[in-house]
Chain A
Protein backbone atom coordinates (compact mmCIF):
# COMPACT_ATOMS: atom_id res chain seq x y z
CA UNK A 1 0.00 0.00 0.00
CA UNK A 2 1.09 3.55 -0.61
CA UNK A 3 0.71 6.74 1.42
CA UNK A 4 1.78 10.36 1.16
CA UNK A 5 2.54 12.91 3.85
CA UNK A 6 2.86 16.58 3.08
CA UNK A 7 4.50 18.48 5.92
CA UNK A 8 3.04 21.91 6.38
CA UNK A 9 -0.54 22.58 5.37
CA UNK A 10 0.27 26.25 4.86
CA UNK A 11 3.51 27.77 3.61
CA UNK A 12 4.09 31.50 3.21
CA UNK A 13 7.03 33.00 1.34
CA UNK A 14 8.00 36.41 0.07
CA UNK A 15 8.05 37.13 -3.63
CA UNK A 16 11.49 36.18 -4.98
CA UNK A 17 12.21 33.77 -2.13
CA UNK A 18 12.86 30.05 -2.40
CA UNK A 19 9.81 27.81 -2.37
CA UNK A 20 10.15 24.42 -0.66
CA UNK A 21 7.11 22.17 -0.30
CA UNK A 22 7.72 18.86 1.40
CA UNK A 23 6.40 15.45 0.42
CA UNK A 24 7.28 12.08 1.93
CA UNK A 25 5.90 8.85 0.63
CA UNK A 26 5.57 5.25 1.67
CA UNK A 27 5.46 2.45 -0.86
CA UNK A 28 6.27 -1.25 -0.80
CA UNK A 29 7.22 -1.17 -4.48
CA UNK A 30 9.05 1.45 -6.56
CA UNK A 31 6.74 4.46 -6.69
CA UNK A 32 5.64 6.87 -9.35
CA UNK A 33 5.35 10.35 -7.85
CA UNK A 34 3.47 13.40 -9.03
CA UNK A 35 2.97 17.00 -8.04
CA UNK A 36 -0.26 18.72 -8.99
CA UNK A 37 -1.28 22.34 -8.53
CA UNK A 38 -4.78 23.67 -8.01
CA UNK A 39 -5.48 27.34 -8.57
CA UNK A 40 -8.68 28.78 -7.06
CA UNK A 41 -11.82 27.44 -8.73
CA UNK A 42 -9.80 25.31 -11.12
CA UNK A 43 -8.95 21.65 -11.51
CA UNK A 44 -5.77 19.75 -10.72
CA UNK A 45 -2.95 20.54 -13.12
CA UNK A 46 0.12 18.32 -13.44
CA UNK A 47 3.31 20.14 -12.44
CA UNK A 48 5.78 17.29 -12.81
CA UNK A 49 6.22 13.54 -12.43
CA UNK A 50 8.86 11.05 -11.37
CA UNK A 51 8.67 7.71 -13.14
CA UNK A 52 12.01 6.05 -12.33
CA UNK A 53 14.14 7.89 -14.86
CA UNK A 54 16.15 10.94 -13.70
CA UNK A 55 15.86 11.65 -9.98
CA UNK A 56 15.77 15.42 -10.54
CA UNK A 57 12.61 16.25 -12.39
CA UNK A 58 11.82 19.59 -13.97
CA UNK A 59 8.25 20.71 -14.40
CA UNK A 60 6.25 23.64 -15.58
CA UNK A 61 6.45 27.20 -14.23
CA UNK A 62 10.05 26.78 -13.02
CA UNK A 63 9.30 24.07 -10.46
CA UNK A 64 11.43 21.01 -9.92
CA UNK A 65 11.50 18.07 -7.54
CA UNK A 66 14.12 15.58 -6.48
CA UNK A 67 13.38 11.94 -5.77
CA UNK A 68 15.43 10.71 -2.79
CA UNK A 69 14.86 7.04 -2.16
CA UNK A 70 16.94 6.98 1.03
CA UNK A 71 14.74 9.70 2.52
CA UNK A 72 11.51 8.54 0.84
CA UNK A 73 11.02 12.14 -0.21
CA UNK A 74 9.96 14.07 -3.29
CA UNK A 75 10.14 17.72 -2.25
CA UNK A 76 9.04 20.45 -4.64
CA UNK A 77 11.19 23.55 -5.07
CA UNK A 78 11.30 26.76 -7.04
CA UNK A 79 14.24 29.18 -6.72
CA UNK A 80 12.20 32.38 -6.85
CA UNK A 81 8.52 32.64 -5.98
CA UNK A 82 6.10 34.69 -8.06
CA UNK A 83 2.78 36.05 -6.91
CA UNK A 84 1.14 33.81 -9.50
CA UNK A 85 2.46 30.71 -7.68
CA UNK A 86 -0.10 31.15 -4.90
CA UNK A 87 -2.18 27.97 -5.04
CA UNK A 88 -2.77 24.59 -3.44
CA UNK A 89 -0.09 21.97 -4.17
CA UNK A 90 -0.71 18.25 -3.96
CA UNK A 91 1.75 15.37 -3.93
CA UNK A 92 0.47 11.99 -5.12
CA UNK A 93 1.84 8.48 -5.53
CA UNK A 94 1.00 5.40 -7.51
CA UNK A 95 2.96 2.19 -7.89
CA UNK A 96 3.34 -0.88 -10.02
CA UNK A 97 0.44 -1.62 -12.31
CA UNK A 98 -1.98 0.11 -9.97
CA UNK A 99 -2.96 3.38 -11.60
CA UNK A 100 -4.94 4.92 -8.75
CA UNK A 101 -3.36 7.98 -7.19
CA UNK A 102 -2.95 8.23 -3.43
CA UNK A 103 -2.85 11.86 -2.34
CA UNK A 104 -1.35 14.02 0.33
CA UNK A 105 -3.48 16.53 2.17
CA UNK A 106 -2.09 19.42 0.16
CA UNK A 107 -0.06 22.51 0.98
CA UNK A 108 -1.47 25.98 0.49
CA UNK A 109 1.24 28.33 -0.75
CA UNK A 110 0.89 32.05 -0.10
CA UNK A 111 3.28 34.51 -1.75
CA UNK A 112 3.66 37.88 -0.09
CA UNK A 113 4.74 41.02 -1.95
Chain B
Protein backbone atom coordinates (compact mmCIF):
# COMPACT_ATOMS: atom_id res chain seq x y z
CA UNK B 1 0.00 0.00 0.00
CA UNK B 2 1.36 3.45 -0.89
CA UNK B 3 2.55 5.47 2.05
CA UNK B 4 3.79 8.88 3.02
CA UNK B 5 7.49 8.93 3.92
CA UNK B 6 9.23 11.53 6.06
CA UNK B 7 12.91 12.21 6.61
CA UNK B 8 14.74 12.47 8.88
CA UNK B 9 13.01 10.59 11.66
CA UNK B 10 14.82 12.72 14.25
CA UNK B 11 16.46 16.10 13.80
CA UNK B 12 18.48 17.89 16.46
CA UNK B 13 19.26 21.54 15.74
CA UNK B 14 20.71 24.50 17.59
CA UNK B 15 18.34 27.36 18.32
CA UNK B 16 18.46 29.97 15.57
CA UNK B 17 19.45 27.51 12.87
CA UNK B 18 17.39 26.71 9.80
CA UNK B 19 15.85 23.28 9.46
CA UNK B 20 14.17 21.56 6.52
CA UNK B 21 11.83 18.64 7.07
CA UNK B 22 11.16 16.47 4.07
CA UNK B 23 8.15 14.48 2.98
CA UNK B 24 7.27 12.35 -0.01
CA UNK B 25 3.46 12.23 -0.28
CA UNK B 26 1.52 9.45 -1.94
CA UNK B 27 2.16 9.85 -5.66
CA UNK B 28 -1.36 10.50 -6.97
CA UNK B 29 -2.41 12.74 -4.10
CA UNK B 30 -3.00 16.42 -4.73
CA UNK B 31 -3.42 17.91 -1.25
CA UNK B 32 -0.56 18.12 1.21
CA UNK B 33 -0.44 19.10 4.85
CA UNK B 34 1.85 19.68 7.78
CA UNK B 35 0.80 19.19 11.37
CA UNK B 36 2.77 19.28 14.57
CA UNK B 37 2.38 17.80 18.01
CA UNK B 38 4.17 19.33 20.96
CA UNK B 39 4.74 16.75 23.69
CA UNK B 40 1.59 16.33 25.76
CA UNK B 41 -0.51 18.62 23.56
CA UNK B 42 -2.97 18.20 20.72
CA UNK B 43 -1.98 17.64 17.14
CA UNK B 44 -2.16 21.08 15.50
CA UNK B 45 -2.72 21.99 11.89
CA UNK B 46 0.03 24.12 10.36
CA UNK B 47 -0.61 24.43 6.64
CA UNK B 48 -2.31 22.88 3.63
CA UNK B 49 -0.99 23.05 0.08
CA UNK B 50 -2.71 22.50 -3.24
CA UNK B 51 -1.88 23.31 -6.83
CA UNK B 52 1.54 24.68 -5.85
CA UNK B 53 0.26 27.18 -3.36
CA UNK B 54 -0.80 27.41 0.25
CA UNK B 55 -4.55 26.89 0.55
CA UNK B 56 -4.77 27.50 4.29
CA UNK B 57 -2.43 28.19 7.17
CA UNK B 58 -2.84 28.46 10.91
CA UNK B 59 -1.73 31.24 13.25
CA UNK B 60 1.28 29.10 14.13
CA UNK B 61 2.51 29.23 10.54
CA UNK B 62 4.18 32.63 10.72
CA UNK B 63 6.93 34.15 8.58
CA UNK B 64 9.49 31.74 10.04
CA UNK B 65 7.77 28.85 8.27
CA UNK B 66 7.58 28.07 4.58
CA UNK B 67 6.59 25.11 2.44
CA UNK B 68 7.69 24.07 -0.99
CA UNK B 69 7.14 21.32 -3.51
CA UNK B 70 10.45 21.65 -5.32
CA UNK B 71 10.36 18.76 -7.75
CA UNK B 72 6.88 17.26 -8.03
CA UNK B 73 7.51 14.51 -5.50
CA UNK B 74 8.96 16.09 -2.36
CA UNK B 75 7.07 18.42 -0.02
CA UNK B 76 9.20 20.32 2.44
CA UNK B 77 8.66 22.40 5.55
CA UNK B 78 11.35 24.97 6.34
CA UNK B 79 11.77 26.74 9.63
CA UNK B 80 14.15 29.66 9.09
CA UNK B 81 15.32 30.46 12.60
CA UNK B 82 14.29 27.78 15.04
CA UNK B 83 13.13 28.53 18.56
CA UNK B 84 13.02 26.25 21.58
CA UNK B 85 9.23 26.13 21.29
CA UNK B 86 9.50 24.63 17.80
CA UNK B 87 10.50 21.34 19.42
CA UNK B 88 7.74 18.93 18.45
CA UNK B 89 6.82 15.98 16.29
CA UNK B 90 6.03 17.16 12.78
CA UNK B 91 3.69 15.10 10.63
CA UNK B 92 3.24 15.34 6.90
CA UNK B 93 0.00 14.12 5.32
CA UNK B 94 -1.53 13.89 1.88
CA UNK B 95 -5.00 13.28 0.50
CA UNK B 96 -6.50 12.57 -2.87
CA UNK B 97 -8.63 14.59 -5.21
CA UNK B 98 -12.37 14.71 -4.85
CA UNK B 99 -14.52 15.74 -1.95
CA UNK B 100 -13.05 17.44 1.08
CA UNK B 101 -13.88 14.39 3.19
CA UNK B 102 -11.04 12.40 1.65
CA UNK B 103 -9.01 10.90 4.50
CA UNK B 104 -5.52 12.17 5.08
CA UNK B 105 -2.66 9.69 5.08
CA UNK B 106 0.20 10.42 7.44
CA UNK B 107 3.89 9.75 7.57
CA UNK B 108 5.68 8.48 10.67
CA UNK B 109 6.73 12.00 11.61
CA UNK B 110 9.97 13.86 12.26
CA UNK B 111 10.88 14.52 15.85
CA UNK B 112 12.49 17.97 15.94
CA UNK B 113 14.56 18.82 19.00
CA UNK B 114 15.84 22.38 19.39
CA UNK B 115 18.75 22.85 21.77
Contacts and interface: CB of A to CB of B under 8 A. Distances in A.
Interface of A: 32, 34, 36, 41-46, 49, 51-52, 90, 92, 94, 96-106
Contacts of A94: 100-101
Contacts of B45: 100-102
B95 to A, nearest CB: 7
Taking residues whose C-beta sits less than 8 angstroms from the other chain, chain B's interface range is 20 to 34
Contacts of A32: 100-101
A46 B26 CA distance: 15
B108 A42 contact: yes
B12 to A, nearest CB: 17
Contact of A100 (B56, B91, B101, B106): B56
A38 B76 CA distance: 23
B19 to A, nearest CB: 19
B48 A100 contact: yes
B100 A99 contact: yes
A94 B33 CA distance: 14
Contacts of B99: 51
A42 B45 CA distance: 19
Interface in B22-62: 31, 33, 35, 41-45, 48, 55-56, 58
A52 B99 CA distance: 12
B4 interface: yes
Which 9 A-B pairs give the minimum distances between C-beta atoms?
A: A43-B108, A51-B101, A44-B106, A103-B43, A32-B101, A100-B45, A43-B106, A46-B103, A97-B100
B24 to A, nearest CB: 13
Nearest to A95: B100
Nearest to B46: A100
Contacts of B102: 99
Nearest to A105: B42
